[in-house]
Amino acid sequence: MPDAFDLVAGSVCRLNLPAPYGAWNEKYEVESIEPTAGINDSDAVTIRLPVVLSEASDAVFAWDAASEERMLRRAHSARPAARSSHRLR
């Protein structure tokens, strides 16, 4: 276990979990992190840092302008022409 986590909302982290949790070893963005404390027993306080992560795969941001524009042009040309229902008086 690490001694500390350097996380703030908006930072990116990569998980490195042992089996059987290895399927979650991806890149994540920290959505929120909020320290909480609770009484563990009469001599100790437990500090926790609940964190909300969202997957931040590089594939989400990987795109090719040429192919994306081509797909948009095809989709636009396949659409039927819009008819105006407004009449001027």
| Residue 74 counted as domain residue | yes
pLDDT number for residue 32: 93
The count of structural domains within the chain is: 1
| Residue 59 counted as domain residue | yes
Structural domain of 18 = 12-78
Q: What is the average per-residue pLDDT within 75-88?
A: 61
Assess whether pLDDT exceeds 60 at residue 84. no
pTM: 0.54
| Residue 6 counted as domain residue | no
| Residue 88 counted as domain residue | no
| Residue 41 counted as domain residue | yes
3-state secondary structure of 53: strand
| Residue 63 counted as domain residue | yes
β-pair partners for 37: 47
Question: Of 75 and 24, which is predicted with more confidence?
Answer: 24
12, 13, 47, 52, 59 from 9: Cα distances, Å: 9, 11, 18, 9, 21
Count how many Cα atoms sit within 13 Å of the Cα of residue 51 in the half-sphere of its side chain: 18
